[in-house]
Structure 1
């Protein structure tokens, strides 16, 4: 979804459910439903950390553009093109196709499917004269099972075939399952045909519509066709609700000549491949099972493990013992996870974490992506950063009333523990925006804005290592001497000391990036000299002699001198390539999300004892 992996989706889902609970909903909807709502209103996603929500934020904007296109009279085909061109999927498929092999063949099939979808949309517009996107979606959704009954497809042996009763005519199988035989669905006594009833046009003129009795007889014949496809065993399923006005089995069940059997409760396991493999694995090692049953379970696992698709890829890889955990002693790979010859990718905040706080915390949070979802404080910071960027780029006027109106539109999406906390933090946000606006319009030693939210990606030499630094600069300014000056906005409650700012890793990385050409394009292709950097603490007031509560606290770092930054980069890169992430205790442990699994803390000792 939008390039998000499963871990990011889980984190965003948890964050959205936390929002619902903070808003007073004790039983929030499932995460997928909340995510669908958020994508329909992408403004709700602004408050979430882009580290895990960026894909959803970008997808929400894409869906908004597509919605606007349809509202302005766009066709379904145009909407599909907007969605298709608004993602990196075309480029990924192109690269996979050019590489060839199994991945290339899969990409070719995906492209064929996309082309078929565009053709279907184009034909629908031509055939119906433009009935709108919703009608097109309903038409496609109704084709869960392919409507083209004449096209022949390759059938994999020993596989389940899914088809309609009409397509099953003339075919037979040892086992046939006729599922969902409900009253109202089978028989379906609704009138057939289209709005203009073109199906009634016959050789001898306009035929009379089928009577309910004729429809019932037709449905009974179709049920007979489905039920007689089985050579050995027939299974017919239906749902019976306790209430009379709920779902009820079809009247056809009583015509089978067999008394239906009620099955109450849930099955002993979900009817899917993964639970089946789990049950078979458990049976093979169950001391209470008979030797014959254990051997039969092992044989069935072997059969599942041997199944492959058309490209000789395993269909049930989890059935093979080489995929099972806990069967071998811990191993150590001779080949490193990262290629030592390639640059080590880091960010400014990761550099500080690796070198000064805890490498295990960095590994679990950044590499494993196991840290907790964004808090209200992080959402506070994200919102303020977005508004600051809009003002600096000119998209939003430097007017507090306008900014507060924008803030009001997304504030309720932040998850606070209590209403009074939400009100308190909103006042803090107002104060932070006021300080930002005064700082924005004041004279800052002749500095002028050059860029906002400027991305950079540079590779640096650090001792025996190469380090790739990626990130985004909140603001780049040009000073009176033509140098590049980097500004980093902070909304946290704590600020570093003066000595810590002098060797602040994130500011130092920004200055190194300037040296390596990260802002050349902003300065007309010329390489500017780094003129320093500063932290602007929007939540904290400046000292009285520097403006007091009206202005933010500003902490400056002079232009870099010495080799300390290179040493810091080399230390961090060495820890990453060494692949040994040990815990380090300190003040950062107070708010660490991994206390319960950290071997250096009492509550986490259970993982090693």
Structure 2
């Protein structure tokens, strides 16, 4: 539930129930009793071990079976056996790496760390062995480069690891080499390992944030219980209902709590939260207009006071950043009265003067030295593109500029600030290469041969986890199998003419010369001698039927055919465009069109009208005029620039 908070005693935060402890001075390898089983299990499920609960269950079951086979009819609990196995890595050699790999790796790392310490190495050196010997650094690096919420979390994790190494180095320097024991004492003296040398004292001018459970026995003049919503207060879901862990007690299994008992327990917890206030209690909730939306908790009516409805949006969010923004704007607003501007400046000065016990400013943005000014949009002295030369575009660029987001195109293609290539892009590249080899005759149309080629390069693709790699490899197999079925399919009188055909043509679009470059996955000759273009897709999404009819990339291919892009593969003659199609190798065709064995195919008829030329003119005009305005849409889901985009809520603060 939501926790009460009150001014007067700062320091606690949700989740900060225990201290940050590292492993004790005895590590696995010193004997089964050196480390408690609970600590070993925690290490195995941490990023160092990388095991999940399924792996632990399988390993524990295998170790118990091993004990029984050795004559022990009543083997010890699984966690004890796992701790012993980590202490003696030789016991793990005979077990399947599918579930024992993490334990084997951690056991080897801990043994190496112990030998380092016994040989006179520092705690920092032992920590580096543990850190560098796992895939954790690479996972954090990939997440950090991808950006977004996961990237920000990875940045914070990397900062915490750096702080841990700094603490280890500082402890070593200050005490002259007490090694791991001193580091453990240093960490034990801190709530969170950081740069401070001593535990921080409780502040009397701050707000304490905590859960209702942690507030027992404490009191404040003011308490705020936020989010008193039905479904949260009370939360009548069974605790640990998947494995019924809530029934496990000291005397065995207990009967599960009834809904009535759960309700009574939740009411007691709400009573604890509400009675922490000596002078004033504030309870807040949200009420949706519809009955099936968020509703206030039934407990609100039990407080003895009629809840007060507050409708409409607040003038500004009740947070420091919006307050500082409003004060700054008022201070420099020529329309505001001198008295109001003076009052805003004085409040900013008070905020800017606030500092913590280490002298660090609490509201640094309140000081004028941290203000960012806003000017009118600027223009570069050197134009992005020379107006006297053709504007170079590709089919995908045309789609971004004309139909999606011009700012995304500019930042990704021109500034080259896009995220690094993903595993999905690598997946598509591999499938395209193998499909081209089959179509060109360099490889036989045999799935076993293609999978052998795939195996040779698959480990070069980077995935977040081994299970993801295995899953994507199975998708690749299905995609190749669909391609082979499609490849040998009788498609009427259409015959292959070229594969991976590169083209470079210059077109006139509304008086602007546009140079279109690209590569056609496959070009076929139809019964009328026209050129038919095929584009393979390996993504999970497919456009709608209306979107395919005006698909810019397919249309550009057809327009390029009209302008001579495939003359050389048609014996020097100029074929007309006969249409184009998208072949989605990752997606199965509808049942009436072949079902799972064939890929989904979406066709675009031969070009009709001037709409493609209008798109080219629009896109080229935006590039030449440098009009890269953002626009929101489905493309935002995979955009690396949302945090700096004024069309998105998370980036609007940049310009407002």
TM-score for both structures, normalised by structure 2:
0.43
TM-score for both structures, normalised by structure 1:
0.46
